[in-house]
């Protein structure tokens, strides 16, 4: 697959320092959530058989040091699947962990301030990566983008 998976989007925008990859939490993992006085999350995956999946989370750290996260339990994720346009798609059947991560990322993104140009950039990157995942792998010749062709023409002119 081309590009980064949607669960691995890492981008620096005005308020966000970075976004950690989303993760699926299993029954035998050490998993603790803290809501007050400061939101915090601790996840240590178990060794070997981790047990049944119980949920997924996405985490973001802001430049001011604040951390925000979204945890979605199995029931919420199944509700999202039920209302999905394609609840029995390849994403939900063969790559269900990726679908679980994507659900947590989208729920977190819904709560973040989207009026910020940086957040709009993050949303565009997530959407672009999602579209890339759906594109078939290229076969045959490689097409240069128009901007790259233009820069090559300019570089060739100066080289003469």
Q: What pLDDT, in 10s, does the model give residues 65-124? A: 777 889 999 999 999 999 989 999 998 999 999 999 999 988 988 877 655 566 667 777
Q: How confident is the model at residue 17 (pLDDT cuts 50, 70, 90)?
A: low
pTM of the predicted structure, to 2 decimals: 0.61
For the segment 28-45, the average pLDDT, to the nearest whole number, is: 90
57-61, 68-72, 111-115, 143-147, range with the lowest pLDDT: 143-147
| 114, 123 contact by CB (below 8 A) | yes
Element (H, E) at 88: none
pLDDT for position 11: 39
Sequence spans of domains, the chain: 6-159
Residue with tokens 């709560």: 111
Q: Strands of 12-94 (E only): list them.
A: 16-26, 30-34, 40-44, 53-62, 67-73
Cα separation of 147 and 13, whole Å? Answer: 25
pLDDT for position 64: 74
| 100, 72 contact by CB (below 8 A) | yes
For the segment 49-57, the average pLDDT, to the nearest whole number, is: 95
**How many Å separate Cα 104 from the centre of its chain?**
9
Q: Furthest-apart CA pair in the chain: how many Å?
A: 66
For the segment 5-22, the average pLDDT, to the nearest whole number, is: 51
């Amino acid at each position: 697959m081309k590009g980064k998976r949607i669960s691995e989007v890492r981008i620096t925008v005005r308020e966000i320092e970075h976004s950690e990859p989303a993760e699926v939490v299993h029954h035998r993992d050490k998993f603790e959530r803290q809501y007050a006085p400061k939101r915090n999350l601790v996840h240590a995956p178990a060794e070997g058989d981790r047990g049944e999946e119980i949920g997924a989370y996405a985490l973001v750290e802001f430049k001011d040091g604040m951390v925000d996260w979204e945890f979605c339990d199995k029931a919420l994720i199944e509700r999202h699947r039920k209302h999905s346009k394609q609840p029995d798609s390849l994403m939900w059947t063969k790559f269900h962990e990726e679908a679980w991560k994507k659900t947590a990322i989208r729920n977190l993104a819904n709560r973040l301030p989207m009026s910020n140009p940086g957040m709009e950039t993050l949303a565009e990157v997530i959407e672009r990566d999602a579209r890339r995942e759906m594109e078939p792998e290229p076969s045959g010749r490689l097409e240069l983008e128009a901007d790259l062709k233009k820069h090559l023409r300019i570089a060739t002119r100066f080289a003469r």
